Structure 1
Amino acid sequence: MRSSKSWKVLFVSLTAALSFSMLAGCSSNNKNGDEDNSKAIATYKGGAVTQKEFDTDVKVMKFLSPEQAQYLELDGFKETVLKQEVAFEYLAGQASDKAEEEAKKQADKQLDTYKQGLGDTYASSLKEQGITEDQIHSYMVRVLTVYQDMLLKVTDNEVKKQFEATKGDFTVATLRHVLVGFTDANKKERSKEDALKRAKEVQAKLKGGADFAAVAKEYSDDPGSKDSGGLYADKTLGTYVEEFKKAAQTLPLNTISDPVETTYGYHIMKVESRTEKTFDKLTDEEKETLKSTLASNKLQEFMEKDLGGIIEKIDLPKSSASPAASAGASPNASAPAAPPSAK
């Protein structure tokens, strides 16, 4: 059951960058040459965010992440974004030239990917939202400049310490599992009680000597492994959701687990092999992932501990939230960057 990565993971796609920026906000300094006589709605040490800047950022965020658009009508969420926008504007002003240079390269690539994804609808979508490509690019550069600056400040010693603290995530394992989902193969909801009952039935069959692959093909609701008999071969455990990962890290080899509950349902697992990895065996990508986590942690620490002392005044006009936004679930502060590739 693969984990959906959060914004704390290295930007390897546009989606990840957008998820990160949606959570962390960013500034939108007036770099397009238009005169801005709008009111300052946030002031901080060394600068201010105007109503026009904020409105432009909101439009860009809605364009890039339309599934979050309803939340940007909520006053509480808008104020959070504005405060974090202050942080990005402040930090971008302190970032190195090297960080900005790399950010521009990344923004170019990501914008190109996004344009290709929208195809012929790209221009009309921009017009509909009332923004320009330059505004989107500026937005991306600002977010990524801060992120790249944080990356450059991560030391090799910090990376090694982070590995030691999380080395179980880098363990490679081959395992099989049967998922009894809270939603069945026909997209019909299944109660927890019914799911647990079915999972225990699977467990009993496997403990009784039934072939795991055959049981998985009959019972599993995981499309990512059902046809392969529930098999996930040589996967890094850090890619799985937390409960599944912990079970995979601790379950004795070649034994049938008790039902393991995750947000997807109940899993019956069997770990066939498990190999711990040392720091010197990490791939460059894995080391970059560690650096990314540390960089994001540094940013999160700044948001939590330092931001309040930098903001001088917030004067954001109130607005009425739309019924749809108010009725929906509140935005998740650790929203995943992309849907899991498999359950």
Structure 2
Amino acid sequence: MRSSKSWKVLLVSLAAALSFSMLSACSGNNKKDKEDNSTVIVTYKGGTVTQKEFDTDVKVMKFLSPEQAQYLELDAFKETIVKQEAAFEYLAGQASDKAKKEAEKQADTQLATYKQGLGDTYASSLKEQGITEDEIRSYMVRVLTVYQDMLLKVTDDEVKKQFEATKGDFTVATLRHVLVGFTDANKKERSKEDALKRAKEVKAKLDGGADFAAVAKEYSDDTGSKEKGGLYADTALGTYVEEFKKAAQTLPLNTISDPIETTYGYHIMKVESRTEKMFDQLTDEQKESLKSAVASDKLQQFMEKDLNGIIENINLPKSSASPAPGAGASPSASAPAATQSAK
């Protein structure tokens, strides 16, 4: 089961998806629109964010990630977004020329890809959201500039340290599993109790000597491996969701696991082989993913530790129509969106 990563805060998660999965881009300069006479809502060290700039960025975010739109209307998130908008402007203003040039190049490439993906609906989607292509590109360039600048500052030692901290993610394993999903093959919901009962039935059959491939074809709800007898061959464990990954890292070889719960359901697993990798065995792509992880960590550390220190004043109007976030009102990003997924 493939994993997805999410940011703790909305803007970063959106920026992440845009930068790491390269579906969009971010960069930015801090030049104010000469015709922008709107109220200054944030003052930070070296600059300001106006109401017009904030409104434009929100429209762009809704355009790029419509599934997050409902959260962008909540006051609780608006303050986080505007503070991070100031952070991206601040950091982009300090970025190197090399980072800015690379960001502009990537922004143009990814904007073209985005347009191609939307096809004939691109122009109407822009009109519906009330934004221009230049505004989307400006948003992309700002965020990508920050990301590229962080990336350029990552050292080889930091990449190696990141590898040591996440070494298990690069272990390559061949395994089989049976997924008893919380949703069955007919898209019908299955209770946890029923799923666990069925998973235990699968384990009992396998413990009794049944052929794993045959059982997987009969019981598994994982369409990606069912017809292959539940097989995932020579796959890096870091691609799996956390609970599945941990089990694959630690389960003794050729042993039938107890039911492993993930967001997908219950898994019964058997690891057939497992090979650890050394740093010098990594591909260039894997080393770049480590570098990206270090860069995203640096950005998140800035947001958590330094952001408040650059903010001098916030005057963000409250929305009387803004609903209060409920217990489940928390945006998530999938790999993936500024660390969502580094793929």
Report the TM-score, using the length of structure 1 for normalisation. 0.91
Question: Is residue 27–residue 54 contact of structure 1 (8 Å, CA) maintained in 2?
Answer: no
2:335 is aligned, of 334, 337, 340, to: 337
1:109 aligns with 109
For the 8 Å contact 2:27–2:103, the answer to whether it is kept is no
CA deviation string 1:166-209 (max 9, x = no partner): 11110000000000011111111111111111000000001111
Matches within 5 A, 1:286-297: 286-297=286-297
The answer as to whether partners of 1:30 and 1:53 remain within 8 angstroms in 2 is no
Alignment correspondent of 2:304? 304
5+ residue gaps, structure 2: 9-14
CA contact (8 A) 1:7 1:17 kept: no
The answer (yes or no) to whether the contact 1:19–1:336 under 8 Å persists in 2 is no
- Aligned-pair distance for 1:34? 4.9
CA contact (8 A) 1:27 1:85 kept: no
* Cα shift readout 1:104-163 (whole Å, capped 9, x = no counterpart): 111111101110011111111111111110110010000000000000111001111111
CA contact (8 A) 1:173 1:275 kept: yes
Judge conservation of contact 2:151–2:291 (CA < 8 Å) in 1: yes
Three-state SS of the structure 2 residue aligned to 1:306 is: helix
- Map 1:201-240 onto structure 2 (within 5 A): 201-240=201-240
Which residue is 2:271 aligned to? Answer: 271
With over 3 angstroms needed to count, the CA separation of the structure-2 counterparts of 1:30 and 1:46, relative to structure 1, is closer
Return the alpha-carbon distance in structure 2 between the equivalents of residues 328 and 140 of structure 1: 32
Alpha-carbon contact 1:178-1:268 (below 8 Å) kept: yes
* 2:100 aligned partner, one-letter code: E
Count of equivalent residues: 331
Deviations 1:271-291 (A, max 9, x none): 001000000000011001101
Percent identical among aligned pairs is: 82
Asked if 2 retains the 8 angstrom alpha-carbon contact of 1:44 and 1:310, the reply is yes
**2:280 corresponding residue in structure 1:** 280
Give the secondary structure class of the aligned counterpart of 2:166: helix
Seen in structure 2, the aligned counterparts of structure 1 residues 271 and 258 have a Cα distance that, compared at 3 Å, is same
* Compared CA separation, residues 328 and 18, structure 1 to 2 (3 A): farther
Which runs of at least 4 in structure 1 moved beyond 6 Å after TM superposition? Answer: 18-22, 25-28
The CA RMSD measured in Å over matched residues stands at: 2.5
CA contact under 8 A between 2:258 and 2:268: conserved in structure 1? Answer: yes
Within a 5 Å distance, the mapping from 1:22-37 to structure 2 comes to 29=30, 34-37=34-37
Decide whether the 8 Å contact of 1:18 with 1:65 is kept in 2: no
The answer to whether the 8 Å contact 2:103/2:144 transfers is yes
Tell me what 2:152 maps to.
152
Distance 1:97 1:27 in 2: 12
- 2:177/2:230 contact within 8 Å kept: yes
SS at match of 2:17: helix
- Unmatched runs of 5 consecutive residues or more in structure 1: 9-13
Q: State the distance in 2 between where 1:159 and 1:291 align.
A: 6
Aligned to 1:17: 18
Q: Which amino acid aligns with 2:248?
A: A
Per the alignment, residue 11 of structure 1 pairs with none
Shift of 1:337: 2.5
Structure 1 pair 28/102, CA: closer, same or farther in 2 (3 Å)?
closer
Is the 1:257–1:270 Cα contact (8 Å) retained in structure 2?
yes
For the residue of structure 2 that corresponds to 1:254, the secondary structure is coil
CA contact (8 A) 1:60 1:136 kept: yes
